[in-house]
């Protein structure tokens, strides 16, 4: 009989993945329950505390949109900071941009170790890249260091849902530290859940961001194994309005970069900022 993994993140709603073979990783780290397995339809999959974080088949729709949208709206980005991201997928995308230094702060070394082994086809050697720097420590403490103020052109907060050790990544203090770590034109991007099933999370986060940053907003992607349809990607900046760079400029930067993608395109970049009416109504007044 085929084993089955079932995620029950949202009350009254579940998704199940049939497991192909034995569990590759099934362990508890200091911080969370880590499970990695091959699923029949979605390929290599990782769940943390019972919630799917990444699958090989649809990860590009998340990691590419989190990374390339803010990077292609920067004229000459030099440094990217990733909060979390232990699977290495976002780092791999950021490293596609020539000359960009990528720093990552991941609290759980066990996640990194597991993903180096079991998601090598996704992170594609990112952990060993000369422009990549990994810090296995708490992101709060890291960003409080004086040398990290006004340092980053793009920050990607690759945070899970606000449960367990990730709860602090939805606090106002966290947003203030991110603001102080950005350059004046830098942009931070966040995973903010599925508005269909987590509408209050989007509204509350945008309200928090408005209290901390001069500019903020939301764009969308669709990652099938993040149940609920649209995935909200919120953003904030001291001096940049994401989504207002001319499409022709974004397209030119993309072509000149030579970046190869599986999901992101300049046309999709522009379309991601078009919000359905029901999501517009979730935005705070």
Asked if residues 87 and 34 have their Cβ atoms less than 8 Å apart, the reply is: no
Q: Name which of 166, 69, 73 is nearest 111 in CA terms.
A: 166
DSSP category for residue 184: E
What CA–CA distance (Å, rounded) separates 215 from 176? 13
| Residue 121 annotated as part of some ligand binding site | no
- Which residue in the list 38, 153, 158, 161 is annotated as catalytic? 158
The structure tokens 């993309």 sit at 254
128 is catalytic: no
- CA angle in degrees (0–180, nearest 5) for 103-107-108: 115
Structure tokens at 229: 């349809």
| Residue 98 annotated as part of some ligand binding site | no
| Residue 32 annotated as part of some ligand binding site | yes
| Residue 165 annotated as part of some ligand binding site | yes
| Residue 247 annotated as part of some ligand binding site | no
What CA–CA distance (Å, rounded) separates 43 from 17? 10
Q: Which residues are catalytic?
A: 158
Residue set of the binding site for S-methyl-5'-thioadenosine: 32, 106, 138-139, 165
């Amino acid at each position: 009989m085929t084993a089955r993994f079932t995620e029950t993140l949202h009350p009254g709603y579940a998704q199940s993945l049939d497991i192909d073979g034995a569990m590759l990783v099934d362990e508890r780290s200091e911080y969370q329950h880590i499970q990695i397995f091959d699923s029949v339809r979605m390929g290599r999959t990782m769940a943390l505390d019972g919630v799917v974080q990444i699958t090989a088949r649809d990860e590009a729709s998340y990691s590419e949109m989190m990374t390339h949208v803010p990077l292609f709206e920067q004229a000459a980005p030099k440094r990217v900071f990733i909060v979390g991201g232990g699977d290495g997928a976002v780092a791999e995308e950021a490293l596609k941009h020539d000359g960009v230094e990528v720093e990552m702060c991941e609290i759980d070394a066990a996640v990194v170790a597991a993903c180096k082994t079991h998601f090598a086809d996704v992170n594609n050697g990112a952990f060993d890249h000369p422009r990549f720097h990994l810090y296995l420590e708490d992101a709060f403490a890291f960003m409080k260091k004086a040398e990290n103020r006004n340092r980053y052109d793009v920050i990607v907060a690759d945070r899970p849902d606000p449960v367990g050790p990730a709860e602090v990544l939805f606090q106002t203090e966290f947003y203030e530290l991110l603001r102080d770590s950005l350059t004046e034109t830098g942009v931070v991007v966040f995973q903010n859940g599925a508005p269909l099933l987590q509408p209050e999370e989007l509204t509350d986060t945008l309200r928090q961001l408005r209290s901390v940053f001069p500019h903020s907003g939301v764009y969308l992607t669709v990652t099938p194994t993040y149940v609920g349809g649209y995935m909200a990607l919120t953003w904030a900046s001291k001096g940049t309005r994401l989504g207002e760079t001319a499409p022709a400029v974004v397209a030119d930067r993309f072509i000149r970069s030579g970046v190869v993608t599986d999901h992101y395109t300049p046309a999709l970049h522009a379309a991601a900022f078009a919000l359905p009416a029901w999501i517009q109504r979730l935005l705070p007044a």
